[in-house]
Amino acid sequence: MTSESVLTVTDMSKSFGVVRALKGVDFELRDGEVHGLIGENGSGKSTLTSIVAGQQRADAGTVHFLGRPWSPASVNEALDGGIGMIVQESGTVPGISVAENLFLGDAGRFVRLGLVDRAAMNREAGRALAAIGIDAIDPRTPAGALDFQTRKLVELARVMMHAPKVVVVDETTTALSQHGRETLYRLVDEQRARGSVIFISHDLEEILAVCDRLTVLRDGEMIRTFEKSEFDEDAIRAAMIGRNLDGHYYRADTTATAFPQVLLRATDVTVGDKVRGVDLVVRAGEIVGIGGLSHCGMHELGQALFGAVRLDAGNVVVNGKRIVNEQRAVRAAMGYVSKDRDTESLSLTASISDNIASAGLRLLGRGRGGLITRRAEERYVAGPMRQLAIKATNDRQVVGTLSGGNKQKVVFGKWIACGSEVLILDCPTRGVDIGVKQAMYRLMVQLKSEGKAIVMVSEEMTELMGMCDRLLIMKDGTVAREFQRGPELTEMEIIQCMI
Amino acid sequence: MGAGLMRRATGTLIIPVGAFVVLTALCSLNGVSLFHTDDSLLLLTRGVATTMLTSMALAINLNSGRFDFSLGAMATLSSVVGATVAIQTGGGFAVMALVTIGTGILLGVVSGLVYVLLGISPMVCSLGITLLYEGISFAITGGANVSFLLDRGLTSFAKSTLAMVLVVAVGLVLVYTVFDRTRFGFDYRALITGQAAAVASGTKEKRNAVLTYAVSGALMSVVGLIIASQMGYIEAGKLNFGSIGIMFTAFLPVFIGGYIGRFSNDKLGFLLGALTMTLVGLAFAALSLSSTVQSITNALLLVGFLMFLSNEERIGRAWRSVTHRRGASPSGPAAPTTAATPNKAPVTSGVNAS
Amino acid sequence: MKISRSTALAATAALGLSFGLTACGGGSDSAAGGGSDPVKMCVLVADATSSEALGFKDYYTTYIQENFPVEFVYSEEVGDADAEKRAMESFIANNCEAIISFASADRPTQIQMAEDAGIYYAVATGTLSDDQYEEFKDYQYYVGAIGPSLGVEYQAGYDMAKYFVEQGDTRFAIYGAGVPYYIDMHIYRTAGMLAALAEEPSTSYGGATDFGAILGKIMQDGTVKVADFQSDVYELTGYHEVWSFDDAAWQANLAAVVASKPDVILAAGTGFAVFGAAVADTGITIGDIDAYTDENGQAMKEGLVGYLAGKFTSSIGPIFAATYAAVEGHPIRAEGDTALALEQGYWVATSPEQFDAFLAGDTIENPFYGKAELEQFANGDQGYDTFEAFVAAYTYVAD
Amino acid sequence: MHDLTQRTRPGANGTSGPNGTAARRRSPRELVPALAPLLGLVVLTVAFVVVGTVSGVNMSYSVQTLINQSVVIVIIATGAIFIFAMGSFDISLGASTLVAAMVGGLAYNATESLVAMLVACILTAVATSLVSASLAAVFNLPVFVTTVAMLSVLGAVAVALVQTTGGAQIKVDSSFARQYDTLPVKLSVAVAFLALCVFLFTYTRLGRVEKLIGGNPVTARLTGVSMKKTAIAAFAIAGLGVGLGAFLTVLRTPTMTTSSAADIGMNVLVAMVFGGMPISGGPRTRIYAALLGGLSMAVLNQTMTTLLATSSAGNGISQVVRALFFLAVVWVATSGHRSKLLPR
């Protein structure tokens, strides 16, 4: 039974403009397996699965599902046919109810005499939610009123209620808490009995734990499929980036270091009930990590340090300047990388050059009476583009067309170019592939050695442990505990104080 | 549940009832009556009918971030066609109504198709469409008024309170049904806040947009019909955006409708918003305010209400801190798109986006 | 939808081509029209929609164009001085040989532009103020003005109110039309109405009883205030004016005026168009200053309009004749080689019979000023005195 | 904007790029949409010349007329680009032009000084503009709705201003106005203001920051851009444009009524869009859009007048043609930026 293939992709190609996202990919999914797909951003994982799940169409190649040719016109058609996908970004619609979300694009099935029978829809929705073990959600609640994780679960229910033969899980777990993950893993496990799962994740550990087989994609090509017996982290990593990663992925040293000079001093920072009386001192050349569960207030603290939210009490002083808003922060040589990169840190329709130059326009005009010439701008932008190895045809390329990793490099470039001394990084490696991640970490180490101060907010415990001189764990808006960098620090200990 | 119901009822009714009380008080202070003529009821219902339908026509597209300058031009052109056909065939009001509404739907479909096929910004598209429809109206009539002042058959419609009440009732029920109860409406509401997600799950966005424009055209054709019937003639010679004035009267009701929609249903909100504005209009007339004073007052009302809407959280926080200190205040301006108030977001975002 | 460069270019090319074709079409048209080139006369209109304006346009574009070798080019409705200027510029660029103006936002500029461009210019309705006339009377290309002066406008309002007073009516409402937009003729007519009422000793408007003071007050306020009307005999039950037709308040005010049950609504213009639908079956009569049109005739038959002062459609015949004569090289000039400044009054009908008689006497097929009457001035055979007498002969004013 | 600057100096690009690839040639697919407004103007100009020649139009006068009719629109629209670049929408420009012109006229009548008139026009326009800006900035109101309200308020102010004269009009001595209503005056005002705008928009922080705000306001804020200061600067420049436009309006039409300048507001909008300005602002903002669009509109209007004025429906038909041309140009101009979803 397990060796029978349910889905075969042969020689599939797909281009977006000049970018070739898939180049003749072959892929086989067996019945009853959880098949991992892994690869750097832009390697083609999502393109492959979105074609299979009806979100878009291939330019060339064939797909066979259960022995028949397969080319669904829409997500709903694919779902009806037996393939459902849970997408990376939020797939729920905030303005309508949970029930309506569950039957998105499919309200037609409740139509009686031309009208939609809302009560029946709600009933059906309640059943679907209960079926995957979440009964705390009222189907009539507007989806926008739910938190991100619950919305993900709604999406999960939306797919699972069709009892699909194949479920595609596309990097969903990054958004989920421990409880949410457990629900997902349970469902993935149960799906083995009914069919198969394609599981996409950046998290190698996770993928190794969950999957039976895994396929590595790189630059739109299929590199290799690993059987469970062949699972080997280094080999997989090497396949992913096409070369062997050198030893230290994170920082090499294990001792906390910093210059004596204090660059950032925050006292009694209070933002509503999200952040309550936090004190923080960051020195030059120091990386301070802030971790915790997603709602512990760490993101809000990061915003507060940068002056992006109004403080209800306390103050933040950087380089002797009190930070009351973003302008002051930037003037005080601070930089901020938001966790929502596309919506908060980039102007997607603008060019790389426009984005990188945006924080340094005053610098660019300095000494010329404010005059900004294209030549000066090109020179200004060329530095970070080279330093960060941003992959683009030229600095005029529109940022929206870049891959996630390159986008994040542009954001970093913006702050490096203008000489920021204090950087607030909120989930700087979210949605970024290993290669870029490593580049970011190296950059952080370099900045540290240059005497810059870095506050890194992150949900990834390993990254915090790997990079930080000091680590603050937040819980309910306050700092629960502070850890110093050291070889004896264990993840267990930290997670303990988070919960 | 009881407290929730109370809150909803209060939120729904506070604006119209408040306006009524204030206006009545103002009028009686000045020794006049808000409903001071025999025709007051007709005026009220007719005002509510035209304002409500215009607000709905504006709002249904604005909700999806589509601002439409061509509402007035659609009203004019559809009634020009309707009246011209009725006069030439001698078919009376039934023909005029049918042709007007049919033309309105057609114009809406054309607007929608132009937008969908050209794929240009809806506001820009509507600029072109406005010029187009105004030009066609002018070309049909040679710029002259289409006049039927003495044709009682055509003018009696807008003189009947009952007919106006029916227009309001039918309009409200139809729009509610279409947008809240049909498959089209479900798709429509999904597209408002989840354009990408809805399209990804197979919702036909283009068809939905064209149909929405068609409904908007139908609503505006009824407005055109009422205004034509009430005036006895149609001014068809407006060129160069002369027709966009009607849109401005619908702004405040749209915002009021959006606000009320958070407590009950936005369609009911448009009715109550239209009612509020019509009452204000009656009060202006009763107090015999000059047009200058009127336009300034209207502007202040609009700005005032928007200030309230845009600063509601701040006001709420201030209010709570005055009344009782403990209160789970929502985070400040830092969380821009949590969409905790989904009904509010689309309405303001539509105009913001402009 | 994908757009390739070729489609885009094709679209542009197609548009360009269609332009080229239209251009050729337009060109051959004008070349083929008639044996000799017609005289291109351009008409500047501030109002393109009222029945009066349409009647005028009909007279020129059908009757006159049939009977004289002229071609009329109409401007779009020009709403302000800048639009007038733009239209004038287009006319000049398009080689108009004469301009007849119905637009009055900035007459001095129009006259000056025409003079600079060497194009004949005539004012078709209304007159210049005395100062303006003094300034421009010697201009070579200024043909002159024939129409109601502001004095005539005042008189029209006065006569109308007086007529109803003499009928024994006491409850009046006033429709001031363009008063808030400071349209002179409407303000003068309205002041005339109030002045007629103020002849009764107990009556005054804002304390004023004579025309000049009443006019001053309206100018000051930019409107008419019902509360300022004092009288033991008459009642001013309501007042209405133009502001916005889409406005609930405007509708309410209109209804309030009707509901105040006046005997008569005295309208400074377009009274029937605005109040016609509203007063049907109420017994209220409208006194209107408008035009002789079928619709107004019908309204008079139905008793909705009791008094109508109007220009008859062909009243703009003489100014055409004078302009045409000037273009043909035989300008009619007043004493001392000055431009014309002749007054025209209104025809007043107070019964359907009278109305019909006027209407019948001036149809598009057979206008009061027909080909024969006008032609005698076209070739320079007749002098100024004959022309003055010809215009003055127009004395249909009700008795 | 970049599209245009790159096009006009193709030779310079190769050398100025830091890494050789920075200034590659653009593919035709990008180029055609970018040049659509310019192509539109060229096509229209050809049509204008052809039609004009065939119909025997007085071309030299006609060209002057073109400038006369477009200069005010071009000036006001160019200033307004600073507002629209941020993604804000000002619908009250026509009304503020009228009010500024009226105040200017009154100032001249009081002082008989050209300079006083100019200063009054500019101060009034800038002040009006700043009222909108501060309402929007301080109270977080959407600019569009704020300016809708301003539209009615300014209309009422215009009526009040006329009333101060106790007459129908505000009238400036026309022989004085004629003295300055000349091409050199208009062109020098226009060139000076356009040069200022191009400079500010292309070579200073302001223009960059505006495009950033238009592209993504949240990002702009988190990059340390002051929304309030930028908005106030933008509205001030737009106000300056309106003031200069009003100044030229007084000179051109010294007789002002409450309905003067009525169609300027919408024409400004059409001119910008016609010239390739995206209505939502952002990185694709082009500072030359107003110039291209304003000229295109004037050329089109002239051509249509020549062709159609003799028929009774002519004005309507000419507007229909204008509408179709407008849609076509916008369609081609935006053809490079289309996604699967409908634009909003």
- The Cα A335–Cα B249 span in angstroms is 46
Q: Is C282 helix (H, G, I), strand (E, B) or coil?
A: coil
* Cβ-based contacts of B298 with chain D (< 8 Å): 152
CA distances from C58 to A100, A330, C54, C61, D12 (A): 61, 71, 6, 5, 62
pLDDT of residue A89: 61
CB contact (8 A) between residue C81 and residue D257: yes
DSSP C40: E
Query: How close is the nearest chain A Cα to the Cα of B55, in Å?
Result: 20
pLDDT in tens, A252-269: 888 888 899 999 999 999
Inform me whether the pLDDT recorded for D25 exceeds 70. no
Q: Is B149 on the interface with A (CB under 8 A)?
A: no
Superfamily per CATH, domain C151-311 = Response regulator (3.40.50.2300)
The predicted model gives C167-193 an average pLDDT of 89
Sign of the Cα torsion B334, B339, B344, B346 reads positive
| B50, B152, B286: residue with CB nearest C280 | B152
pLDDT of residue D139: 80
Q: Which amino acid is at B71?
A: L
Partners of C310 in the beta sheet? C290, C347
Inform me whether the pLDDT recorded for D32 exceeds 80. no
pLDDT of residue C22: 44
pLDDT of residue D250: 92
Among A57, A86, A93, pick the best mutation site for testing chain B contact (most B Cβ within 10 A): A93
CB contact (8 A) between residue C95 and residue D56: yes
The predicted model gives A220-239 an average pLDDT of 84
- Six token digits for residue C282: 């109420």
Residue of C90, A78, A24 lying closest to D63 (CA atoms):
C90
pLDDT in tens, A21-75: 888 889 888 888 999 988 876 678 888 888 888 888 888 888 888 888 888 888 8
What confidence category does residue B353 fall into, taking pLDDT thresholds of 50, 70 and 90? very low
pLDDT in tens, C111-128: 999 999 999 999 987 778
* Cβ-based contacts of C116 with chain D (< 8 Å): none
The third-level CATH classification (topology) of the domain covering B12-320+342-353 is ABC transporter involved in vitamin B12 uptake, BtuC (1.10.3470)
Chain C, residues 187-226, CB within 8 A of chain D, namely: 187, 216, 219-222
Partners of A142 in the beta sheet? A97
The predicted model gives D285-298 an average pLDDT of 92
| B64, B140, B351: residue with CB nearest D145 | B351
* Cβ-based contacts of C105 with chain D (< 8 Å): 169, 255, 257, 260
Inform me whether the pLDDT recorded for D192 exceeds 90. yes
Chains C and D touch (3+ CB pairs under 8 A): yes
Among D213, D272, D297, D342, pick the best mutation site for testing chain B contact (most B Cβ within 10 A): D342
Fold match between A5-241 and A262-498?
yes
Query: How close is the nearest chain A Cα to the Cα of B103, in Å?
Result: 25
Average pLDDT of chain C, as a whole number? 82
pLDDT in tens, D41-88: 898 899 888 888 888 788 888 888 889 889 999 999 999 999 999 988
pLDDT of residue D311: 61
Average pLDDT of chain B, as a whole number? 84
Superfamily per CATH, domain C36-149+313-345+365-392 = Response regulator (3.40.50.2300)
Nearest CA in chain B to D280: B354
CB contact (8 A) between residue D224 and residue A329: yes
The predicted model gives B78-84 an average pLDDT of 96
pLDDT of residue A243: 60
The predicted model gives C307-314 an average pLDDT of 86
DSSP state letters, A10-58: EEEEEEETTEEEEEEEEEEEETT-EEEEE--TTSSHHHHHHHHTTSS--
Chains A and B touch (3+ CB pairs under 8 A): yes
Nearest CA in chain B to A110: B183
pLDDT in tens, C67-118: 999 988 888 778 778 888 888 988 888 888 999 999 887 888 889 999 999 9
CB contact (8 A) between residue C48 and residue B237: yes
Sign of the Cα torsion A75, A80, A83, A89 reads positive
pLDDT of residue D330: 86
Inform me whether the pLDDT recorded for C293 exceeds 70. yes
DSSP state letters, D152-180: HHHHHHHHHHHHHTTSS-EE--HHHHHHH
Q: Is C361 helix (H, G, I), strand (E, B) or coil?
A: helix
CB contact (8 A) between residue D21 and residue A375: no
The predicted model gives B63-73 an average pLDDT of 91
| A343, A344, A354: residue with CB nearest D211 | A354
DSSP state letters, B5-48: HHHHHHHHHHHHHHHHHHHHHHHHHTT--TT-STTHHHHHHHHH
CB contact (8 A) between residue D330 and residue B128: yes
pLDDT of residue D24: 45
Q: Is D160 on the interface with B (CB under 8 A)?
A: yes
Q: What number of C-beta contacts closer than 8 Å exist between A and B? A: 108
pLDDT of residue C246: 53
CATH assignment of A5-241?
Answer: 3.40.50.300
Query: Which residue, chain included where needed, has tokens 């309006």?
Result: D249
pLDDT in tens, B262-315: 888 889 999 999 999 999 988 888 887 877 788 888 888 888 888 888 888 778
* Cβ-based contacts of D211 with chain A (< 8 Å): 347, 350, 354
pLDDT in tens, A391-430: 888 888 888 888 778 888 999 999 999 989 999 999 888 7
CB contact (8 A) between residue B37 and residue C1: no
pLDDT of residue A174: 64
pLDDT of residue A234: 80
pLDDT in tens, B158-203: 889 999 999 999 999 999 999 988 999 999 988 988 888 888 777 8
Alpha helix positions (H), B201-235: 205-231
Show which subunits contact C, needing at least 3 CB pairs below 8 angstroms: B, D
pLDDT over 90 percentage in chain A: 23
DSSP H or E segment with residue D43: helix D28-54
* Cβ-based contacts of C34 with chain D (< 8 Å): none
Inform me whether the pLDDT recorded for A439 exceeds 90. no
Inform me whether the pLDDT recorded for C31 exceeds 80. no
pLDDT over 70 percentage in chain D: 88
DSSP A90: -
DSSP D27: P
pLDDT in tens, D130-184: 998 988 887 878 888 888 888 888 988 888 888 787 666 788 888 888 889 899 9
Query: How close is the nearest chain D Cα to the Cα of B165, in Å?
Result: 30
The predicted model gives D7-17 an average pLDDT of 32
Of A372-386, C234-248, D16-30, D213-227, the least confident = D16-30
Q: Is C220 on the interface with B (CB under 8 A)?
A: no
Show which subunits contact B, needing at least 3 CB pairs below 8 angstroms: A, C, D
Inform me whether the pLDDT recorded for B334 exceeds 50. no
Of A144-158, B208-222, C326-340, the least confident = A144-158
Per-domain boundaries in chain B: 12-320+342-353
Residue of C125, C107, C203, C215 lying closest to C162 (CA atoms):
C203
CA distances from C390 to A303, B337, C342, C377, C384 (A): 88, 78, 11, 10, 10
pLDDT of residue D312: 62
Fold match between C36-149+313-345+365-392 and C151-311?
yes
State the CB neighbour count (10 A cutoff) for residue A126: 18
CB contact (8 A) between residue B236 and residue C49: yes
Query: How close is the nearest chain B Cα to the Cα of A56, in Å?
Result: 9
Inform me whether the pLDDT recorded for D19 exceeds 60. no
Query: How close is the nearest chain D Cα to the Cα of A334, in Å?
Result: 9
* Cβ-based contacts of B340 with chain A (< 8 Å): 144-145
Residues 6+ apart with CB under 8 A from C258: B37, B39, C275, C278, C279, C282, C284
Inform me whether the pLDDT recorded for C397 exceeds 60. no
Inform me whether the pLDDT recorded for A302 exceeds 90. yes
CB contact (8 A) between residue C26 and residue D51: yes
CA distances from A85 to A82, A142, A148, B201 (A): 10, 22, 17, 11
The predicted model gives D220-240 an average pLDDT of 93
Show which subunits contact D, needing at least 3 CB pairs below 8 angstroms: A, B, C
* Cβ-based contacts of C58 with chain B (< 8 Å): none
Chain B, residues 123-152, CB within 8 A of chain C, namely: 143-145, 147, 149-150, 152
Q: Is B339 on the interface with A (CB under 8 A)?
A: yes
Per-domain boundaries in chain C: 36-149+313-345+365-392, 151-311
ipTM field: 0.84
- The Cα A378–Cα D17 span in angstroms is 7
Alpha helix positions (H), D85-142: 93-111, 114-139
> Contact A140/A99 with Cβ under 8 angstroms?
yes
Partners of A348 in the beta sheet? none
Q: Could you say which of 3.90.226.10, 3.30.420.40, 3.40.50.12160, 3.40.50.300 is the CATH number of the domain covering A262-498? A: 3.40.50.300
